[in-house]
């Protein structure tokens, strides 16, 4: 093993039917370092993590842990825990029906009996130390996802781990929570813990990491020290090609044209039961606008209200000038509106159904229950979009849950494009997606606009929205606080509008 | 349980917040006492006698044990619908052993435990290690037990074994508790030994679920099996032990049942599994797993049988009324569970 | 190498084709059926003989074990149709179908017998009785549907209610009297129409299957039920109404129950409330499971369920033939079912393939040496 390394993986390979998820990958993690693992979707990041944590069994290669002679065997999560490897996943892996304290200590205490007193006391101490707003005795399920995640991290931290794996921990956290997390990570680094940080947020990588390992198509591209790898180079290594200057994507002339188009949808005083305060909204033909604001400011809730996905409690809506009643998704669909939801797995894909069935689903619902789309026709549609959007799948009959995240997203996009909408709402279409597909999606949005369709684009990455939107609706605390166009479309102005108050 | 700080009328106040489990338990207990009190007030004489309450316990000692086992399996997110027919099988096998093979109480007990363990081992293995759905496995178990009962002996048996009958008729008198009958004689209330067994088991299981790692892992697995796995709990072993425990308890429950009934027949325990499920639901155990407690189940059994008694004493002898009320109670408690689960959560 | 051994490449092609076959959903019930057929043929080579016999009414009809199976399995096949849809869309099972069938039988007898408990002549046309049963059973199906779809109760728990109360309701309809119809008009539907040698239930079952096939082909209920069963949230955002679709599947099952109940009561023109269609819900659920459908909902294959239904009936008939007393029947069924379910369990198959590979690897190595 290398000097100072806590973990070494050599020649790791993992195969699934028809897919080489990992081929001969090496990875080294040193004590007291924060190491980013990066790559597009399908690059093999999550497979590597799962092999390391015992969720998958590797097909070839060895894993070495500091202090152990020879390779160690990791076949189940318990083995990983035994070697001092702790993981905090993007999805909460705690039990919401148990208390906070119990979640922190379960399966870790010696003996067969539980001492509630000790558990609660220990949990209280740890929660206060880390500044987590949770009470040891409360049911975990009573708290938001962000707090639940912090409890998960507290548990990992308390386990005296040598290797801490954080798999996309910041996706559901707001800025303050991210700052807390980073402070925690730096503390742990100082204590000699090796942290493996998986994320898609480039800013965060450059803020807190020491080294980067890049994977592409299941193979190792290289390991670099952060100071030796500027962003543009990182991105090009992840993509394996030179990148055009992404800032130059937007064509300003299109934006001018859009400003004079006919209004496609106008809403006044729209509110929903998901606690969105009444807001006004309008969008014109050929326009691309966006919703921005901090996490939890109500961006998704607004577009869901527009689509009728949540229980709409008030407001007037006009589509193409005529009054319209949009109380459920089908109403919106009949008016030519499509919606790509934020949570792909929960709201987007229908897992066991094939790619083909997922693509035709919305169109089928529009056609009604007595006009089934024939198998031959469905295959034609599916093949067309697989080709058009370059969806990587073995065939159109493959169950969609076997595709990578990015390709699943493309299938959902295909589904809505097939319905030929006049207005498409995309909520975080690029979250959890590799950079290559991100660019494709942004280019597609602009192309749609050029064809006269309207689009709402929501993203946590302001860069993306600046590149595609000609108007930004700014939200704070579930209120719409401003609308920015033209020259106001820059980072500073956006931040100011979000922050509000005295400058 | 815990506190939450809310802003009410501009001032910060601490509000006492209970977990789902505890809310459901409270509701169950309150409903039971309310029902019993109403029965005493409106239906008078019968219910006022402590002997009636003791009788409910005597009749249902076996059911209490069975329901506790069912609750445990439900807490882990599984189910076991074979316990009813297992009871029939146990009563028949014990009867045959006692009357035809010269057995005694101890051999009968051993047989009951043996059957319980055997079912538990097989069903537990199939569910936990081969990932077969508990409903199907226990459905097969139920069919198997039903068939085996008539294979063991085709006709019902009334147990004649003297020692057994002596044990069956043992009454543990509760000195001082009873009522004065019309002739002026004081009739002391009594419990049968089976009731003691049942109550001891309830206490032991309560301790198991609240204070042992195994018990807590039942809740964890029921709450989110994938998470429990990631947290390092051996999910397979936990599920296996839950089913094993449930079937073994069914074994004990079957023994207590035959001790009370004194006969073996294929109709014994018919529908017991549905009663056990109903009692668990009324007691606050959710079929989806992760929520439930033994005390609640105990009160669930008592509530279910109290309502049956109420119906009987209202001279509604048509079996239709009993079934309808039970169905209605299940309905009511399911709706309550839904409401509790849908409470607005904080933060 | 021996002369007729397959070359390695041919072996691989064969293995992969065998693997494809085993993974088809219809394989499980077909394999089970094949085993049963084989088992019976070995025991009695004339097991499948079909012969002409004279039935009680003096008509010439077909007889034989094969006819028995297809005849007796009619109710199960009809139930399997509805149960498959319910399982697919709501991820749970309806355990009240037996009790609901008792209600159907009760309603039919009531209408045909009028106010008496014994009637020599039908008091109303059979079609009226049948339609009434359909209405009543679909109403109860709707009751279950509301509990599951709109009150969001777990299917097994929700249907527990009708399961508990159903037979009492059936009994109450006729004031607990056993009812007896002496008019043969009803029996034509349950036994034989004079002059036709094939039992009528077979035709009724086939008619139901044809209707089911047409509905699946010309409406989108199949796709919708699967979509809703796999992911209700996504389905909603595609414009579907998951609650309505789940509700409809329960109503459809109610209709199936009415037809099955009609067939069953027509066989004997009398009704015993506590025994009528007892345990049939378990058989129906098993039929769906044996057909390789996931009991947790989602994708389904209707032909597989129907095949599963007849397989279970075949099992029952086989056991009867070997003089297994009807009370002991459940034990044998259980054992067979466990074996079948274990064999089709993915975890078991994975363990078995691993063990097999180890075994053949060892012997392969031996050969090379």
Nearest to A105 by CA among A76, A96, A114, A97: A114
Q: Could you give the CA distance from residue B226 to residue A420 in angstroms, rounded to a whole number? A: 40
Comparing B11-20, B325-334, C159-168, C295-304, the range with the smallest average pLDDT is: B11-20
Q: Do A94 and B2 touch (CB under 8 A)?
A: no
Inter-CA distances, C245 with C220, C222, C227, Å: 11, 10, 10
Query: What are the chain C neighbours of B322 within 8 Å (beta carbons)?
Result: 168
Contact B214, B75 (CB under 8 A): no
Residue C266 included in any domain: yes
Which CATH topology does A5-239 take? Rossmann fold (3.40.50)
Q: Could you give the residue ranges of the DSSP H alpha helices within A114-144?
A: 116-130
pLDDT above 70: residue A247: no
pLDDT of residue A439: 84
Q: What percent of chain A has pLDDT over 70?
A: 90
In the 8-state DSSP scheme, what is residue B344?
Answer: P
What pLDDT, on a 0 to 100 scale, did the predictor assign at position C121?
84
pLDDT 10s digits, C101-131? 999 999 999 999 888 888 888 888 999 999 9
Which phi and psi angles does B156 have, rounded to 5°? -65, 150
Helix (H), strand (E) at residue B178: strand B172-180
Q: How far is A98 from chain B (nearest CA, A)?
A: 7
Partners of A142 on chain B (C-beta within 8 Å) are: 17, 345-347
Q: Which residues of B touch C348 (CB under 8 A)?
A: 130
Residue in C223, C237, C299 closest to A341 by CB:
C237
Q: Show which subunits contact B, needing at least 3 CB pairs below 8 angstroms.
A: A, C
Closest to A62 in 3D by CA, of A103, A105, A7: A7
d(CA C51, CA A222): 78
Q: How far apart are CA A130 and CA A182, in angstroms?
A: 12
| Band (C350; pLDDT cuts 50, 70, 90) | confident
Paired strand residues for A263: A284
Cβ neighbours of A405 (radius 10 Å): 19
Q: Is the pLDDT of residue A249 over 60?
A: no
Q: What is the pLDDT of residue A199?
A: 80
- If you search the block for the tokens 């006969």, which residue do you land on? B263
Query: Is C328–B334 a contact, with Cβ atoms under 8 angstroms apart?
Result: no
Distance CA A357, CA B80 (A): 37
**Single pTM value for the model:** 0.78
| pLDDT for res A204 | 82
DSSP strands (E only) in A294-433: 312-319, 322-324, 337-340, 423-427
H or E segment to which residue A213 belongs = strand A211-216
**DSSP string for residues in C308-363:** HHHHHHHHHHHHHHTT--TTTHHHHHHHHHHHHHHHH-HHHHHHHHHHHHHHHHHH
Indicate yes or no: CB of B213 within 8 angstroms of CB of A78. no
pLDDT of residue B346: 47
Would you call A501 an interface residue with chain C, using a CB distance cutoff of 8 Å?
no
Contact residues of C toward A, CB < 8 A: 217-221, 223-224, 226-227, 230-231, 233-241, 298-299
- The Cα A326–Cα C244 span in angstroms is 19
| Closest residue by Cα to residue B232 from C240, A84, A204, A63 | A84
Q: Around C172, how many Cα atoms within 13 Å sit in the side-chain half-sphere?
A: 14
Query: Residues C198-214: pLDDT tens digits?
Result: 899 999 999 999 999 99
Residue of A nearest to B75 (CA): A97
For residue C147, give the chain B residue with the closest CA.
B331
Report in angstroms the alpha-carbon separations of A373 from A199, A279, A362, A417.
40, 39, 11, 17
pLDDT for the residue numbered A259: 57
What's residue A243's pLDDT?
Answer: 44
Per-residue pLDDT tens digits for C92-105:
889 899 999 999 99
pLDDT of residue A273: 77
B222 CB neighbour count, 10 Å cutoff: 29
Q: Give A274's pLDDT tier (boundaries 50, 70, 90).
A: low
Mutate to test the interface with C, among B122, B323, B336 (most CBs of C within 10 A): B323
Indicate the number of domains in chain C: 1
Q: Which one of B147, B150, B330 has the shortest CB-CB distance to C334? A: B147
Chains that touch A (3 or more CB pairs under 8 A): B, C
Chain C contact set for B143 (CB, 8 A): 282, 330-331, 333-334, 337
Partners of B255 in the beta sheet? none
Strand-strand pairing, A288-293 and A454-458: parallel
For C239, the closest of A341, A346, A362 (CB atoms) is A362
Given an 8 Å threshold on Cβ–Cβ distance, is A346 in contact with C234?
A: yes
What value, to the nearest 5°, has the Cα angle with vertex B167 and ends B165 and B168?
60
For an interface test with B, give the residue of C99, C144, C154, C161 to mutate (most B CBs within 10 A).
C161
| Shortest CA distance from B133: residue in chain C | C295
If we measure between CA atoms, which residue out of A282, A262, A259 comes closest to residue A270?
A: A282
Length of chain C: 369
Q: Give this complex's ipTM.
A: 0.82
pLDDT-derived band at A245, boundaries 50, 70, 90: very low
Portion 100-139 of B in contact with C at CB < 8 A: 126, 129-133, 135-137, 139
Radius of gyration of chain A (CA): 24
Contacts 24+ apart (CB under 8 A), B228-232: B228/A95, B228/A107, B229/A77, B230/A77, B230/A87, B230/A89, B230/A93, B231/A93, B231/A94, B231/A95, B231/A103, B231/A106, B231/A107, B232/A77, B232/A78, B232/A81, B232/A107, B232/A108
Architecture of domain B2-341: Orthogonal Bundle (1.10)
Distance of CA A64 to the CA centre of its chain: 31
CB A305 within 8 A of CB A312: yes
| Least confident interval from A219-228, B32-41, C302-311 | B32-41
Q: Among A149-153, A234-238, A403-407, B257-261, which stretch is predicted with the lowest mean pLDDT?
A: A234-238
Strands A471-476 and A5-16: unpaired
CA distance B114 to B109: 8
| Residue ranges of chain B whose pLDDT lies below 70 | 1-18, 317-319, 344-347
Q: Does B160 touch chain C (CB under 8 A)?
A: no
* A210, HSE (Cβ side, Cα atoms, 13 Å): 15
In this prediction, residue C132 carries a pLDDT of: 96
* pLDDT higher at A137 or B323: A137
User: Which pair of structure tokens corresponds to residue C233?
Assistant: 């949230």
The 10s digit of each residue's pLDDT in A107-128 is: 778 777 888 898 999 999 988 8
- pLDDT at res. B77: 92
Residue B331 contacts C, CB cutoff 8 Å? yes
**Is C53 contained in some domain?**
no
Residue A91 CB burial class (10 angstroms; 0-12, 13-18, ≥19): middle
Query: Is residue B287 within 8 Å of C156, Cβ to Cβ?
Result: yes
Residue A275 has pLDDT above 70, yes or no: no
Say whether pLDDT at A400 is over 50: yes
Instruction: Pick A351's closest partner by Cβ from C231, C236, C241.
Output: C231
Kindly report the backbone phi and psi dihedral angles of residue B318, in degrees, each rounded to the nearest multiple of 5, phi listed first: -55, 125
Domain containing C175 equals: 66-313
CA A444 from chain center: how many Å? Answer: 19
From C156, C168, C327, residue closest to B323, measured CB to CB: C168
* Å between A212 CA and nearest CA of chain B: 26
CB A499 within 8 A of CB A297: no
Q: In this predicted structure, what is the pLDDT of residue C197?
A: 85
Please tell me whether residue A199 adopts helix, strand or coil conformation.
coil
Residues of chain A with CATH 3.40.50.300: 5-239, 244-336+422-503
pLDDT at B14: 52
Exposure string of B125-147, with b = 16+ CB inside 10 Å and e = fewer, is bbbbebebbbbbbbbbbbbbbbb
Token readout for C211 is 């209707």
Q: Binning pLDDT at 50, 70 and 90, where does residue C369 land?
A: very low
pLDDT score, position C94: 92
Q: B42 — contact with chain C (CB < 8 Å)?
A: no
Looking at residue A412, what is its pLDDT? Answer: 94
CATH of A244-336+422-503, one of 3.40.50.300, 3.40.720.10, 3.40.50.720, 3.30.390.50: 3.40.50.300
Geometric angle at alpha carbon B69, from B66 and B71, rounded to 5°: 110
Q: Are C121 and C286 in contact (CB under 8 A)?
A: no
Predicted pLDDT at B183: 79
Are A329 and C221 a contacting pair at CB < 8 A? no
* pLDDT for position C52: 81
Residue of B335, A452, A332, B150 whose CA lies nearest to C327: B150
Residues of B within an 8 Å Cβ radius of A = 1-4, 17, 19-21, 210-214, 216-217, 219-220, 222-224, 226-234, 290-291, 345-347
CATH number for the domain harbouring residue C97: 1.10.3470
Beta-carbon neighbour count of residue C244 at 10 Å? 14
- Within 13 A of A215's CA, how many CA atoms are on the CB side? 30
Q: How far is CA B265 from CA A144, B146, B182, in A?
A: 54, 10, 37
pLDDT value, residue C89: 96
**What pLDDT, on the 0 to 100 scale, is given for residue C5?**
53
What would the pLDDT profile of A311-328 be if each residue is shown by its tens digit?
888 888 889 888 888 989
Q: How far is CA A341 from the centre of its chain?
A: 12
A455: closest CA among A341, A291, A287? A287
| Residue among C273, C330, C339 with most chain B CBs within 10 A, to mutate | C330
**pLDDT value of residue B322:** 74
Find the range with the poorest average confidence among A20-29, A273-282, C27-36: A273-282
**How many angstroms separate the CA atoms of A115 and A396, rounded?**
54
C-alpha span between C278 and B308 (Å, rounded): 24
Lowest mean pLDDT among A64-73, C16-25, C155-164: C16-25
Length of chain A equals 503
């Amino acid at each position: 093993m290398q000097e100072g390394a806590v973990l070494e993986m050599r020649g790791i390979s993992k195969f699934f039917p028809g897919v080489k998820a990992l081929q001969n990958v090496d990875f080294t993690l040193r004590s007291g370092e924060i190491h980013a693992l990066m790559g597009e979707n399908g690059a093999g990041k999550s497979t590597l993590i799962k092999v390391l944590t015992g969720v998958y069994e590797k097909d070839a290669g060895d894993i070495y842990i500091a202090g152990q002679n020879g390779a160690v065997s990791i076949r189940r999560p318990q083995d990983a825990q035994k070697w001092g490897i702790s993981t905090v996943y993007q999805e909460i892996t705690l039990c919401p029906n148990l208390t906070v304290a119990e979640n922190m200590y379960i399966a870790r205490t010696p003996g067969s009996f539980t001492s509630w007193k000790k558990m609660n006391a220990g949990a209280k101490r740890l929660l206060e130390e880390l500044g987590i707003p949770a009470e040891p005795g409360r049911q975990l399920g009573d708290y938001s996802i962000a707090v639940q995640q912090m409890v998960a991290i507290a548990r990992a931290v308390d386990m005296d781990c040598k290797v801490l794996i954080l798999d996309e921990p910041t996706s559901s956290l707001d800025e303050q929570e991210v700052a807390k997390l980073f402070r925690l990570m730096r503390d742990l680094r100082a204590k000699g813990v090796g942290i493996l940080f998986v994320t898609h947020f480039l800013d965060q990588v450059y803020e807190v990491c020491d080294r980067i390992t890049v994977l592409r198509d299941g193979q190792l591209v290289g390991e670099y020290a952060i100071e030796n790898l500027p962003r543009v180079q990182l991105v090009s290594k992840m993509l394996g090609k030179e990148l055009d200057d992404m800032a130059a994507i937007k064509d300003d002339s299109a934006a001018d044209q859009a400003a004079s188009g006919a209004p496609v949808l106008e809403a006044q005083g729209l509110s929903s039961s998901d606690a969105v305060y009444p807001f006004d909204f309008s969008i014109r033909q050929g326009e691309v606008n966006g919703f921005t604001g901090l996490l939890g400011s109500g961006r998704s809730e607004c577009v869901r209200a527009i689509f009728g996905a949540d229980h709409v409690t008030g407001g007037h809506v006009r589509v193409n000038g005529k009054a319209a009643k949009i109380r459920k998704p089908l109403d919106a669909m009949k008016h030519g509106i499509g919606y790509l939801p934020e949570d792909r797995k929960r709201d987007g894909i229908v897992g066991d159904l094939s790619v083909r069935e997922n693509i035709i689903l919305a169109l089928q619902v529009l056609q009604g229950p007595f006009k089934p789309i024939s198998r031959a026709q469905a295959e034609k549609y599916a093949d067309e979009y697989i080709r058009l959007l370059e969806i990587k799948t073995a065939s159109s009959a493959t169950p969609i849950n076997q595709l990578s995240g990015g390709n699943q997203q493309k299938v959902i996009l295909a589904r809505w494009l097939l319905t030929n909408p006049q207005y498409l709402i995309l909520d975080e279409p690029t979250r959890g997606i590799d950079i290559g597909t991100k660019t494709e999606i942004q280019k597609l949005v602009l192309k749609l606009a050029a064809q006269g369709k309207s689009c709402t684009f929501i993203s946590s990455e302001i860069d993306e929205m600046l590149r595609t939107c000609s108007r930004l609706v700014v939200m704070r605390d579930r209120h719409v606080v401003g609308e920015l166009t033209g020259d106001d479309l820059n980072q500073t102005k956006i931040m100011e509008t979000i922050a509000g108050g005295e400058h | 349980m815990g506190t939450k700080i809310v802003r009410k009328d501009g001032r910060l106040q601490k509000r006492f917040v209970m977990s789902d489990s505890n809310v459901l338990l409270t509701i169950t207990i309150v409903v039971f006492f309310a029902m019993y009190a109403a029965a005493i007030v409106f239906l008078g004489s019968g219910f006022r006698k402590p002997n009636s309450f003791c009788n409910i316990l005597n009749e249902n000692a076996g059911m209490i044990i069975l329901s506790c086992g069912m609750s445990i399996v439900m807490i882990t997110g599984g189910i076991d619908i074979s316990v009813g027919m297992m009871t029939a099988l146990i009563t028949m096998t014990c009867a045959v052993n006692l009357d035809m093979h010269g057995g005694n109480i101890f051999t009968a007990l051993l047989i009951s435990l043996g059957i319980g363990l055997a079912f538990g081992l097989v069903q537990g293995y199939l569910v936990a290690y081969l990932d077969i759905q508990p409903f199907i496995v226990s459905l097969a178990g139920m069919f198997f037990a039903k068939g085996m009962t008539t294979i063991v002996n085709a006709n019902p048996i009334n147990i004649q074994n003297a020692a057994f009958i002596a044990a069956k008729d043992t009454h543990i008198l509760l000195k001082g508790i009873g009522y004065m009958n019309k002739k002026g004689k004081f009739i002391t209330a009594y419990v049968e030994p089976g009731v003691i067994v049942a109550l001891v088991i309830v206490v032991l299981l309560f301790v198991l679920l609240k204070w042992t790692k195994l018990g807590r892992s039942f809740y964890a697995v029921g709450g989110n099996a994938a998470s429990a796995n990631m947290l390092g709990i051996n999910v397979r072993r936990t599920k296996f032990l839950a089913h094993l425990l449930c079937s073994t308890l069914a074994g004990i429950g079957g023994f207590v049942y035959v001790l009370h009934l004194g006969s073996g027949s294929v109709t014994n325990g018919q529908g017991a599994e549905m009663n056990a499920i109903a009692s668990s639901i009324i007691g606050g155990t959710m079929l989806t797993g992760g929520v439930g407690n033994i005390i609640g189940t105990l009160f669930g059994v008592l509530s279910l049988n109290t309502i049956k008694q109420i119906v009987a004493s209202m001279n509604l002898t048509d079996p239709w009324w009993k079934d309808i009320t039970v169905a209605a109670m299940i309905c009511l408690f399911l709706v309550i569970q839904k409401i509790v689960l849908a409470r607005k959560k904080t933060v | 190498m021996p002369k007729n051994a397959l070359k390695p490449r041919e072996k691989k092609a064969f293995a992969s084709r065998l693997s494809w076959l085993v993974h088809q959903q219809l394989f499980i019930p077909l394999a089970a059926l094949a085993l049963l057929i084989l088992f019976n043929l070995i025991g009695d080579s004339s097991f499948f003989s079909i012969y002409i016999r004279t039935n009680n009414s003096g008509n010439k009809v077909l007889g034989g074990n094969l006819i028995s199976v297809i005849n007796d399995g009619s109710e199960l096949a009809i139930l399997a149709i509805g149960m498959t849809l319910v399982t697919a869309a709501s991820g749970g099972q309806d355990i009240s179908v037996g009790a609901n069938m008792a209600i159907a039988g009760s309603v039919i007898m009531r209408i045909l017998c009028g106010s008496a408990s014994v009637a020599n002549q039908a008091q109303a046309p059979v079609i009226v009785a049948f339609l009434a049963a359909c209405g009543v059973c679909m109403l109860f199906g709707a009751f279950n549907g509301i509990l599951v779809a709109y009150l969001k109760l777990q299917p097994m728990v929700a249907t527990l209610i009708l399961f508990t109360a159903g037979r009492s309701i059936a009994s109450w309809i006729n004031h607990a009297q056993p009812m007896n119809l002496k008019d043969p008009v009803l029996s034509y539907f349950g036994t034989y129409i004079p002059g036709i040698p094939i039992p009528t239930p077979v035709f009724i079952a086939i008619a139901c299957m044809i209707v089911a096939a047409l509905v699946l082909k010309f409406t989108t209920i199949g796709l919708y039920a699967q979509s809703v069963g796999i992911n209700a949230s996504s389905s909603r955002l595609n414009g579907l109404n998951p609650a309505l679709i789940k509700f409809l599947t329960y109503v459809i099952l109610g209709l199936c129950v009415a037809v099955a109940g009609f067939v069953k009561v027509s066989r004997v023109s009398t009704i015993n409330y506590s025994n009528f269609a007892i345990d049939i819900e378990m058989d129906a659920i098993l039929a769906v499971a044996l057909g390789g459908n996931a009991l947790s909902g989602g994708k389904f294959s209707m032909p597989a369920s129907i095949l599963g239904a007849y397989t279970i009936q075949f099992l029952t008939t086989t056991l009867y033939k070997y003089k297994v007393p009807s009370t002991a029947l459940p034990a044998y069924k259980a054992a067979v079912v466990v074996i079948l379910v274990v064999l089709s369990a993915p975890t078991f198959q994975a363990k078995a393939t691993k063990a097999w590979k180890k075994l053949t690897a060892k012997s392969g190595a031996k050969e090379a040496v």
